[in-house]
């Protein structure tokens, strides 16, 4: 009887605990997802890029319920400093909220708190798994049943496995995050439209996000096939078409496909009647800026268009067609569509100084250069190591040896110890001395302008140094309204010490300074910094010239092409002179030197032209004598200096990375910020006016800057580089 009572009491207690556990607010009412979900069951995210965190708050029971409160997200940056962002929620349940999060380390843990009113509704800490390397390119296949030969294409690339692009498959567009920030991880997107569901999944909002992603530097490959007629009837799809859709035609021959892929393997056609041939979409009234890359007779097969800072490539057939699936060289065909050419020479190992410093991406050298301040003493790791070894020797074997010899060995031993302490203290004080009592900035900005559309992209990098511990209010101050502004910390790709993919455990030494910094898009405040430390930052602006100065006419000139030579005029409509100006077009460069405000320069074949690489790469001239004692000078390219700290030298190479030779020239990758490379646009027929703004603009309508406590710090010893690229279309005569 007693045992029965004990058992009954135990069961009642367990039931009560279970009811209490189930009644804990929010415990079973919140679902969390992050990144880009793929068909393989993995969510894609990168440290150092913005990731979308999707929080779904469920409803209790069947009754209608409204949720009013806020969500607080805390995630560490690459230095382990917690950055807090908040979002207010006022919606009917169930509701889904997307919040951008930028994790600084692959092993970092984020904290999520949901408040209903003023009460804590839900709390959770979690570490995201399976990160993508911060310096690894991602190809996303959206729609269809397979990955359209992309995996086979990547396998055929002569690139080391760790640097090969990552291929992922998303079943439909409905599975993509709604926050456009989270698309930052993707470099190329292949959209398949074989099934009707693939087309219907792209609604007006998702196509708007796709359009924004392309305009900001994305590379889109659009597969057109049996559903092209349905797509042409839908208004949101029309901006993505190269012209007016006519009809589907069976491809009479496959020679164009084989030539485009540079393949000797024929495309298999299963059957001899037209129903088994590859259907190709026919268009008329093509846009003037559409380039035909491959055609079968007068039927375009592959076309491309530059869309602001991105590109759209049209494959006018179904990339999942059975004939293409069974083609032995479909990998080469897909690699050519994605512009992944054989660059085995670019990937030969080079053991140079930069590799030993830890970074292997151009952004690493940029961060290292931003960290060099004139007038500030920097003690290297090796100097500290040597001093520490000397200290150990003096207080260890030195004191021990002195205490064993001599008449006054105890006094000598104590004297060595006191002298060591006094000398070390003096050395620390001497090293800590600086002539700067105010914070210092090194910064560089790149302003990219699309002359035809007026679209503007501005990218800033900066390192802030402070002599004292404090909290600072950081922001970006444009002289006009920027609709899209993002100020974020600047990470360092790699798995070494300090890299974002480091596997070392995360330890926070911020103490009371932790959880104080708020991220509000274009502001970080109050950001804590300890004495004599630096903080790496980056910012991005997106706007249009019409927003900068609605009353102003922005005329950058016009160009026409004849026999691969540009003709026309280049005009400087800004209120600042442009110096070191280069006009790049095709494989040639024209040195325009300085363009004064309002000046117009005529462009014709009378201008001396140079090979593009000859003006982008440093060189020296070697004197040579012929057999007749005639003196000649030969131009020899200098190797890239990975130890350089000149910001203009580094950023110019980053902005024209593949034009200078890519990895074979620099010995470094450029995969953390690949969309800044202007080489693809240059190869697509764009003309680029490149220059530097040496003077500080009196009315900086086009140039933004970092602010510190709402002031723009200015020290003549700091590097402050302003570069500008203006993209113009050269029309054919």
**Tens-digit pLDDT profile for residues 263-304:** 888 888 765 455 567 889 999 999 988 999 999 888 999 999
Q: What is the pLDDT of residue 663?
A: 86
Non-local (6+) Cβ contacts of 400 within 8 A are: none
pLDDT in tens, 446-470: 999 999 999 999 999 999 988 888 8
Q: How far apart are CA 611 and CA 556, in angstroms?
A: 24
Q: What is the pLDDT of residue 128?
A: 83
Q: What is the pLDDT of residue 360?
A: 83
CB 254 within 8 A of CB 297: no
Of residues 350 and 572, the one with the higher pLDDT is: 572
This prediction has a pTM of 0.85
Q: What is the pLDDT of residue 636?
A: 75
Q: What is the pLDDT of residue 6?
A: 37
CB 706 within 8 A of CB 443: yes
**How many degrees, rounded to 5, is the angle at CA 642 between CA 377 and CA 500?**
80
Summarize the confidence of residues 328-335 as an average pLDDT: 87
Name the average pLDDT for the chain.
81
Q: What is the pLDDT of residue 698?
A: 63
The CB density around residue 285, as the number of other CB atoms within 10 Å, is: 8
Q: Which helix (H) or strand (E) holds 613?
A: helix 612-616
Q: Which of 49-58, 237-246, 548-557, 691-700 has the lowest mean pLDDT?
A: 691-700
Of residues 1 and 315, the one with the higher pLDDT is: 315
Non-local (6+) Cβ contacts of 191 within 8 A are: 142, 143, 173, 198, 202, 210, 220, 221, 222, 223
pLDDT > 70? residue 189: yes
Strand pairing category for 523-529 and 455-466 = unpaired
pLDDT in tens, 25-46: 444 588 888 888 888 888 888 8
Q: Whose CA is closest to 541, among 652, 689, 701, 697?
A: 701
Of residues 132 and 7, the one with the higher pLDDT is: 132
Residues pairing with 522 in the sheet? none
Q: What is the pLDDT of residue 349?
A: 43
Q: How far is CA 304 from CA 42, 161, 238, 240, 314, in A?
A: 32, 29, 16, 11, 6
pLDDT in tens, 496-509: 767 787 766 655 55
Q: Residues of the chain with pLDDT > 90: what percent?
A: 26
Q: How far is CA 591 from CA 399, 583, 603, 606, 650, in A?
A: 67, 7, 11, 12, 20
pLDDT > 50? residue 19: no
pLDDT > 70? residue 600: yes
Quick check: bond before 493 cis, omega within 30?
A: no
Summarize the confidence of residues 623-628 as an average pLDDT: 61
pLDDT > 80? residue 562: yes
Q: What is the pLDDT of residue 624?
A: 62
Non-local (6+) Cβ contacts of 2 within 8 A are: none
Summarize the confidence of residues 89-95 as an average pLDDT: 89
Structure-block tokens of residue 172 = 């439909």
Q: What is the pLDDT of residue 324?
A: 85
Region of 545 (left: φ > 0; alpha: ψ -120 to 50; beta: rest) is alpha
pLDDT > 50? residue 471: yes
pLDDT in tens, 156-179: 777 766 778 889 999 999 888 888
Max mean pLDDT among 319-328, 593-602, 724-733 falls in 593-602
pLDDT band of 346, cuts 50, 70, 90: very low
CB 134 within 8 A of CB 46: yes
pLDDT band of 582, cuts 50, 70, 90: very high
Non-local (6+) Cβ contacts of 398 within 8 A are: 416
Q: Which helix (H) or strand (E) holds 428?
A: helix 409-432
Q: Whose CA is closest to 526, among 475, 464, 459?
A: 475
Q: What is the pLDDT of residue 374?
A: 82
Q: What is the pLDDT of residue 426?
A: 72
C-alpha atoms less than 13 angstroms from C-alpha of 656 in its C-beta half-sphere: 27
Residue with tokens 């509000």: 520
pLDDT band of 552, cuts 50, 70, 90: confident
Q: Residues of the chain with pLDDT > 70: what percent?
A: 81
Please give the radius of gyration of the chain, using alpha carbons only, rounded to the nearest integer: 30
Where does 200-275 show beta strands of DSSP type E? 219-223, 244-250
CB 148 within 8 A of CB 167: no
Q: What is the pLDDT of residue 88?
A: 92
Q: For 711, which DSSP code?
A: B
Of residues 494 and 662, the one with the higher pLDDT is: 662
Of residues 510 and 355, the one with the higher pLDDT is: 510
Q: What is the pLDDT of residue 10?
A: 37
Residues pairing with 69 in the sheet? 89, 116
pLDDT band of 694, cuts 50, 70, 90: confident
Residue 263 Cα to chain centre, angstroms? 33
Strand pairing category for 188-191 and 219-223 = parallel
Of residues 410 and 15, the one with the higher pLDDT is: 410
pLDDT band of 637, cuts 50, 70, 90: confident
Q: Which of 316-330, 398-412, 578-592 has the lowest mean pLDDT?
A: 398-412
Q: How far is CA 168 from CA 38, 146, 150, in A?
A: 6, 10, 9
pLDDT > 90? residue 571: yes
pLDDT in tens, 246-266: 998 888 888 889 999 888 888
Helices 409-432, 381-393: inter-axial angle, 10-degree rounding: 160
Q: What is the pLDDT of residue 153?
A: 82
Q: What is the pLDDT of residue 461?
A: 95
Q: What is the pLDDT of residue 25?
A: 44
Q: What is the pLDDT of residue 29?
A: 81
pLDDT > 50? residue 21: no
Structure-block tokens of residue 230 = 């349905």
């Amino acid at each position: 009887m007693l045992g029965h009572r004990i058992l009954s009491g135990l069961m009642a207690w367990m039931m009560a605990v279970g009811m209490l556990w189930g009644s804990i607010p929010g415990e079973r009412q919140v679902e969390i997802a992050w990144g880009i979900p793929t068909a393989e069951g993995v969510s894609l995210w990168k440290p150092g890029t913005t990731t979308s965190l999707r929080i779904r708050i469920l409803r209790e029971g069947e009754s209608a319920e409204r949720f009013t409160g806020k969500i607080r997200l805390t995630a560490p940056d690459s230095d382990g400093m917690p950055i807090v962002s908040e979002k207010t929620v006022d919606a009917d349940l169930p509701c889904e909220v997307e919040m951008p999060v930028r994790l600084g380390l692959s092993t970092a843990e984020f904290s999520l708190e949901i408040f209903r009113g003023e009460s804590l509704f839900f709390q959770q800490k979690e570490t995201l798994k399976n990160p993508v390397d911060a310096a690894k390119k991602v190809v996303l296949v959206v729609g269809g049943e397979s990955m359209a030969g992309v995996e086979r294409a990547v396998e055929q690339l002569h690139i080391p496995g760790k640097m090969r692009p990552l291929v992922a498959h998303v079943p439909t567009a409905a599975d993509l995050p709604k926050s456009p920030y989270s698309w930052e991880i993707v470099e190329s997107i292949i959209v398949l439209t074989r099934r009707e569901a693939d087309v219907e999944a792209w609604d007006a909002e998702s196509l708007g996000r796709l359009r924004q992603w392309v305009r900001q530097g994305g590379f889109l490959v659009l597969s057109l096939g049996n559903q092209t007629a349905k797509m042409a009837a839908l208004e949101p799809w029309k901006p993505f078409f190269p012209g007016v859709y006519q009809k589907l035609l069976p491809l009479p021959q496959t020679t164009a496909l084989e030539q485009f892929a540079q393949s000797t393997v024929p495309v298999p056609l299963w059957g001899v009647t037209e129903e088994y041939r590859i259907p190709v979409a026919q268009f008329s009234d093509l846009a003037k800026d559409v380039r035909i890359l491959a055609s079968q007779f007068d039927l375009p097969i592959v076309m491309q268009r530059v869309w602001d800072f991105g590109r759209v490539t049209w494959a006018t057939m179904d990339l999942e067609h059975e004939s293409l699936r069974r083609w032995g060289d479909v990998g080469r065909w897909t690699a050519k569509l994605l512009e992944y050419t054989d660059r085995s020479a670019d990937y030969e190992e080079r053991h140079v100084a930069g590799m030993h410093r830890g970074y292997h991406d151009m952004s690493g050298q940029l961060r290292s250069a931003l960290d060099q301040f004139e007038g500030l003493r920097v003690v290297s790791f090796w100097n500290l190591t040597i001093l520490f070894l000397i200290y150990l020797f003096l207080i260890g074997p030195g004191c021990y040896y002195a205490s064993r010899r001599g008449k006054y060995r105890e006094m000598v031993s104590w004297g060595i110890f006191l002298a060591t302490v006094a000398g070390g203290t003096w050395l620390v004080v001497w090293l800590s001395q600086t002539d700067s009592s105010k914070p210092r900035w090194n910064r560089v900005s790149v302003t990219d302008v699309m002359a035809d559309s007026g679209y503007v992209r501005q990218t800033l990098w900066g390192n802030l140094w402070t002599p004292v511990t404090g909290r600072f209010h950081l922001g970006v101050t444009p002289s006009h309204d920027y609709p899209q502004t993002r100020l974020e910390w600047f990470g360092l790709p790699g798995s070494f010490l300090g890299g974002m993919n480091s596997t070392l455990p995360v330890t926070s030494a911020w103490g009371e300074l932790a959880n104080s910094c708020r991220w509000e898009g274009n502001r970080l405040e109050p950001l804590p910094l300890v004495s004599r430390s630096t903080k790496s930052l980056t910012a991005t602006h997106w706007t249009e010239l019409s927003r900068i100065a609605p009353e102003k006419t922005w005329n950058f000139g016009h160009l026409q092409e004849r026999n691969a030579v540009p003709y026309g005029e280049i005009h400087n409509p800004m209120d600042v002179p442009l110096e070191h100006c280069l006009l790049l077009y095709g494989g040639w460069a024209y040195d325009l030197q300085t363009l004064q405000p309002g000046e117009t320069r005529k462009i014709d074949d009378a201008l001396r032209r140079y090979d593009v690489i000859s003006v982008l790469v440093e060189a020296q001239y070697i004197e040579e004598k012929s057999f007749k004692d005639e003196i000649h000078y030969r131009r020899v390219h200098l190797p890239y200096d990975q130890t350089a700290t000149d910001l203009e030298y580094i950023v110019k190479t980053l902005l024209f990375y593949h034009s200078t030779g890519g990895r074979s020239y620099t010995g470094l990758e450029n995969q953390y910020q690949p969309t800044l490379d202007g080489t693809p646009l240059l190869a697509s027929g764009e003309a680029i006016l490149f220059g530097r703004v040496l003077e500080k603009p009196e009315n900086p309508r086009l140039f933004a800057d970092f602010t510190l406590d709402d002031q723009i710090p200015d020290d003549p010893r700091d590097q402050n580089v302003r570069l500008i690229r203006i993209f113009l279309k050269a029309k054919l005569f």
